Structure 1
Amino acid sequence: MFARSFQFNMFRGGLSRAAFAPRKPRHPLLRVALGLLGLAVLCVLVFFSVFVGAAMIAVGIVYKLLRQSGKPQANGRGQTLDGEYRVVSKPVLPLSR
């Protein structure tokens, strides 16, 4: 079997191939500028996600506090669950030969 038989050769043309396969620029300053731009976008996304996560935690805590504000405190009397327990040992496996 040939390796080329599994490739999608729909975009063999010049313009469409360049549009779907961007290359790194050759100019060193432009490469550095695009790298710094990528890092800046990454920092903005991380910064935004940290604040979204903190807001979700804060809303959850406030919701839990407001939901419990009208309920009486549990005193722990009269609601004890008693039971009998026994320890079950692990089954012994036969030795492999």
Structure 2
Amino acid sequence: MSVRFFRSFHGRFTSAMFAPRKPRHPALRALLGVVGVLLLAVLLVAGVFVGLAMLAGGLVARLLRRRGKPQAAAGRVVDAEYHVVPKAGEPLLR
């Protein structure tokens, strides 16, 4: 067998084997379109639920980490005075 035979064999069958083809029947084409849209919707909803579960798990983990640490009591708040430092190059308005 020649090398030319293998080259033509490779191009002829592998391109046809992996090429996506639409069905010719209009009803089957419409049915597969609806199945595709439904699959996309299911994946979207599943992704939203997975995201919400990850957020809830992160919040629970954060709450459990803080559980043993003391929090500031109402009587232990530090009161302070402050003043705004002007930006460089702005004139003072006082």
Determine if the alignment matches structure 1 residue 76 to structure 2 residue 77.
yes
Q: Structure 1 stretch 21-30 or stretch 65-74: which is displaced more?
A: 65-74
Shift of residue 54, structure 1, vs aligned partner: 0.9
- What is the TM-score with the length of structure 1 in the denominator? 0.64
User: Quick one: distance in 1 between partners of 2:37 and 2:28?
Assistant: 14
Task: Structure 2: state its 5+ residue gaps.
Answer: 1-9
- What is the TM-score with the length of structure 2 in the denominator? 0.66
Equivalenced residue count is 78
Deviation by residue 1:34-62 (Cα, 9 ceiling, x = unmatched): 11111121122112111111110110111
Shift of residue 76, structure 1, vs aligned partner: 3.3
User: Quick one: distance in 2 between partners of 1:64 and 1:57?
Assistant: 11
Percent identity between matched residues is 45
* Aligned mate of 1:59, from 57, 60, 84: 57
Shift of residue 81, structure 1, vs aligned partner: 9.3
CA RMSD of the aligned region, Å?
A: 2.6
User: Quick one: distance in 1 between partners of 2:87 and 2:48?
Assistant: 46
Secondary structure of the corresponding residue to residue 85 of structure 1: coil
User: Quick one: distance in 1 between partners of 2:81 and 2:14?
Assistant: 72
Deviation by residue 1:44-89 (Cα, 9 ceiling, x = unmatched): 21121111111101101111111112222234328x6968733124
Shift of residue 20, structure 1, vs aligned partner: 2.0
Determine if the alignment matches structure 1 residue 12 to structure 2 residue 15.
no
* Aligned mate of 1:45, from 40, 43, 46: 43
Determine if the alignment matches structure 1 residue 23 to structure 2 residue 24.
no
Secondary structure of the corresponding residue to residue 12 of structure 1: helix
User: Quick one: distance in 2 between partners of 1:21 and 1:71?
Assistant: 61
Larger Rg: 2
